[in-house]
């Protein structure tokens, strides 16, 4: 059986998600041996427009980016969005809160019209995304599991429960009890609760779970003197592109 041809592509982002793949250490050689890596600007000089699976990092923020991602969408049989920027728009979407025109003026001044900059959108705004490796950065082992699953024809197992489950599993004291706020109750797990493990609250970089427990969340906020607006504002750090969807899910549409 021939190896699947894999291309790894970067759009607007820090490049950290691609580095997570290079940081696989012991697993990297096995992964590379199982695939035909034909495009990966951060690791190889060769490039190809012939690939089966595309791993895409970064948000779409320019017209040129729209052209590139649509071309990838026409070629790749499977698209995997990796990292918060590709999945939800990430930090880049904070630009949308200012308005693109205002953001360009603030950054570029009288050169603003030279800049190819449009409203930020995640990858799935332009092409069908088949799988998501969430987080900032994503869990490198989740990326490997997705690729392995695709190779053997198995559906990847992506968590759809809150970070709180992992936090309790790890024996952490709830950060709300420590006087901090946390988005763990409504954020998708899969990171092994790495921020609460370090004594800080979850910032929601993996996005909302599909069906957040709205009533429990409201009770928790009331207990600690917080509001839904507090939570939505914090979610905007990584998820401003999904702002309306977040507000509706966290409030139950009320």
- How many Å apart are CA 73 and CA 177, to the nearest integer? 46
Average pLDDT for 209-214: 77
| pLDDT computed for residue 98 by the predictor | 85
Model confidence at 251, in pLDDT bands (50, 70, 90)? Answer: low
Of 117-121, 152-156, 229-233, where does mean pLDDT reach its minimum? Answer: 229-233
Average pLDDT for 225-236: 76
Average pLDDT for 31-43: 86
Pick 152 or 215 by higher pLDDT: 152
Question: Per-residue pLDDT tens for 185-203?
Answer: 889 999 999 999 998 999 9
Percentage of the chain lying above the pLDDT 90 cut: 46
What sign has the CA pseudo-torsion 138, 172, 165, 209? negative
Pick 47 or 136 by higher pLDDT: 136
Question: Per-residue pLDDT tens for 54-102?
Answer: 999 999 999 999 999 999 999 999 999 999 999 999 999 999 988 888 8
Map out the domains of the chain as residue ranges: 5-152, 163-251
| pLDDT > 90? residue 129 | yes
| pLDDT computed for residue 247 by the predictor | 55
Mean pLDDT comparison of 12-21, 206-215, 236-245, highest-scoring range: 12-21
| pLDDT > 70? residue 139 | yes
Average pLDDT for 6-13: 94
| pLDDT > 70? residue 1 | no
| pLDDT > 60? residue 235 | yes
Model confidence at 253, in pLDDT bands (50, 70, 90)? Answer: low
Pick one of 3.50.50.60, 3.40.50.700, 2.130.10.10, 1.10.10.10 as the CATH number of 5-152: 3.40.50.700
């Amino acid at each position: 059986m021939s190896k699947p041809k894999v291309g790894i592509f970067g759009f607007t982002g820090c490049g950290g998600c691609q580095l997570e793949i290079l940081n696989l250490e012991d697993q990297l050689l096995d992964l590379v041996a199982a695939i035909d890596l034909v495009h990966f600007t951060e690791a190889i000089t060769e490039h190809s427009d012939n690939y089966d699976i595309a791993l895409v990092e970064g948000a779409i923020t320019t017209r040129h980016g729209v052209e590139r991602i649509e071309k990838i969408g026409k070629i790749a049989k499977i698209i995997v969005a990796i990292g918060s920027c590709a999945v939800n728009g990430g930090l880049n979407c904070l630009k949308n809160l200012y308005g693109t025109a205002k953001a360009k003026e603030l950054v570029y001044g009288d050169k603003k019209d030279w800049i190819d900059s449009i409203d930020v959108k995640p990858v799935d705004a332009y092409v069908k995304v088949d799988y998501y490796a969430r987080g900032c950065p994503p869990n490198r082992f989740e990326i490997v599991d997705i690729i392995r699953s695709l190779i053997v024809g198995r559906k990847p197992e992506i968590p759809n429960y809150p970070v709180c489950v992992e936090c309790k599993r790890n024996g952490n004291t709830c950060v709300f009890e420590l006087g901090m706020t946390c988005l763990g109750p409504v954020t998708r797990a899969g990171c092994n609760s790495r921020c609460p493990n370090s004594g800080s609250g979850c910032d929601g970089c993996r996005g909302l779970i599909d069906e957040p427990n709205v009533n429990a969340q409201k009770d928790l906020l009331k207990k600690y003197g917080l509001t839904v607006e507090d939570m939505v504002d914090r979610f905007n750090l990584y998820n401003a592109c999904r702002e309306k969807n977040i507000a509706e899910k966290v409030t139950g549409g009320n």
